Chains A and B, each alone.
Chain A
Amino acid sequence: MKKSLAIAALLLACQFMGWSQAKKPTIMVVPADAFCERYGYVQQVNTMGETVSSPDYSRAMKENADIRTLVSAMADFMAKNDFPIQSLEQELKRLQTEDAEMAMMTGRSGGEIEETPLERLRRTARADIILDLDYEIHRVGPQKQVSFNLQAIDAYSSKIISGNTGVSSAANVPLTSLLEECVLSFKDNFLSGLQHHFDDLFANGREITITFLRYDNCPFYFDDDIEIDGEDYEFGEWIEEWLQDNTVEGRFTTGASSANRLRFNQVRIPLYAQNRKGRDVAIDADDFVKPLVRELRKKLNVTVGASPRGLGDVWITVGDK
């Protein structure tokens, strides 16, 4: 009897632990734009008639052995901390393979996989936390010295979570040794910065961004007065009230407010919420806005769509999906 009770308690504890785990952010090391520019890993991209240079990560990873050494060293210590990082190189390869496979895929009755241009655009390598890495080699007489700059950036708020700069010792040794020394030098400070960010996340909620966009077939503008529950509200005002009621301690900032666009940033959302069955589940930006989207559809009788852009960014379109 005691044994079965103990097993039941253990199972319950396991389930509770399973439910109470927050969604883990993905981390990826990306060579900094300045690094790509300096070493010529750039490609010219024509965007709406204007030619702009953009970093060529694929070439940087293939041709620069030093950056691979740095990424491997960082991947190693992150894995030791139970936080494996995503490989940019593998992610780029996966996307290439995915492209080829999707182009060849046909259903048994001849149907083809549908993909809108936006979906195609969004199918790129992305992570929740970007580790922006830059280093430069200096000559000190016959010796070499490496200066490095590593920033951990929250992809949604563009906030720098942890920044580390420093120099290696000057020595006449292979560059790989100096690069490894750099990683060992900043490792603990960098992890401490990440820990601080995660502690803040657990204490004050996840920081997300919500953007409302208006399709031209929406019957009202965002600065119009509309009737909700028998009262006249400006659309933006009603949304702000909803956020005040549902965010952690009512924390958010209205970043932009116009007739066609509303943007809320620094929106602090709880890490867990109850699903329809009353279970505690980990949530992200998309899950957080689901009740809001349902409420808007019901109260305003318009089509409303939500389009997640990662764990911490969501677009809500009003008037169409």
Chain B
Amino acid sequence: MIALTLLMTFSAVSANAQSKDRRKSFKSWDNYEITTEKVGVDGTKFVKVWGFGRTVDAATMAAKENAVHACIFRGLPGSATAMSTPPICPNPDTLASHEDYFQTFFAAGGPYLAYVSMTTDGVPSGTDRRKVKGGYKVGIYVQVMYDNLKRKLEADGIARKLSSGF
């Protein structure tokens, strides 16, 4: 009996920890899915990105944030017809060394919104809108103004220009 109680307690604690881990991974900025859909028009990237939030709106905003985050820090994966795109800031220490800058940049309604535009009309639906524990996970098609974003970060001294030093 004692053994059974212990086993049940252990299982409950373990399930709770797993659930917490899962929630953490949903909220983690390093855990999002992004795919390059096709080659965008000059200076832009056309991607499908997923975001997580308590409401559909919050998840959509998180997805937009993730799209810009990927262009700056992670890079975009390639697809059958589009090559991969390298991150604008390949140095892994960039986020930590310019934390204040990026706090402001990615603040709610912050400057990052100027570099991303949604290409789908209305609220995501069907398989692109999933109800998960604690909120919604949505996938949206967005166009990121990659070249403009790069130039902004170069002008602000965050990214190096190709011609700097010459």
Residues of A bordering B, CB below 8 Å: 21-25, 80-83, 164, 166-169, 181, 184-186, 188-189, 191-192, 194-195, 198-199, 202
Contact = CB atoms under 8 A, between A and B. Distances in A.
Contact of A82 (B82, B90, B161): B161
Given A80-B147, A169-B38, A192-B90, A185 B163 contact: no
A240 B147 CA distance: 46
A82 B162 CA distance: 7
B42 interface: yes
Contact of A191 (B39, B81, B84, B162): B162
Contact of B86 (A82, A168, A188, A198): A188
Contacts of A22: 165-166
29 contacts: A22-B165, A22-B166, A24-B166, A25-B166, A81-B161, A81-B162, A82-B161, A82-B162, A82-B163, A83-B162, A83-B163, A164-B83, A167-B81, A169-B39, A169-B81, A181-B39, A184-B39, A184-B42, A185-B39, A185-B81, A186-B83, A188-B85, A189-B83, A189-B86, A191-B162, A194-B162, A195-B160, A195-B162, A198-B166
Contacts of B85: 188-189
Given A195-B160, A199-B160, A21 B83 contact: no
B146 interface: yes
B157 to A, nearest CB: 15
A80 to B, nearest CB: 7
B84 A189 contact: yes
Given A24-B163, A169-B39, 10 more contacts: A22-B166, A83-B162, A168-B81, A184-B42, A188-B86, A189-B84, A191-B162, A192-B86, A195-B160, A198-B165
A188 B146 contact: yes
Smallest CB-CB A-B distances: 7 pairs = A82-B163, A192-B86, A24-B166, A169-B81, A81-B162, A185-B83, A185-B39
A81 B40 contact: no
A195 B90 CA distance: 11
Interface in B47-83: 81-83
Nearest to B91: A199
A166 B83 contact: yes
Contacts of A167: 81
Contacts of A23: 166
Contacts of A169: 38-39, 81
B137 to A, nearest CB: 28
Contact of B82 (A185, A198, A199): A185
A169 B160 CA distance: 32
A237 to B, nearest CB: 35
Contacts of A186: 83
B81 A21 contact: no
A166 B82 CA distance: 8
Nearest to A23: B166
A82 B147 CA distance: 13
Contacts of B39: 168-169, 181, 184-185
Given A169-B38, A185-B39, A21 B166 contact: yes
A56 to B, nearest CB: 31
Interface string B149-166: 000000000001111011
Contacts of B81: 167-169, 185
B162 to A, nearest CB: 4
A81 B86 contact: no
A136 B84 CA distance: 21
Nearest to A188: B85
Nearest to B162: A81
Nearest to B41: A184
Contacts of A25: 166
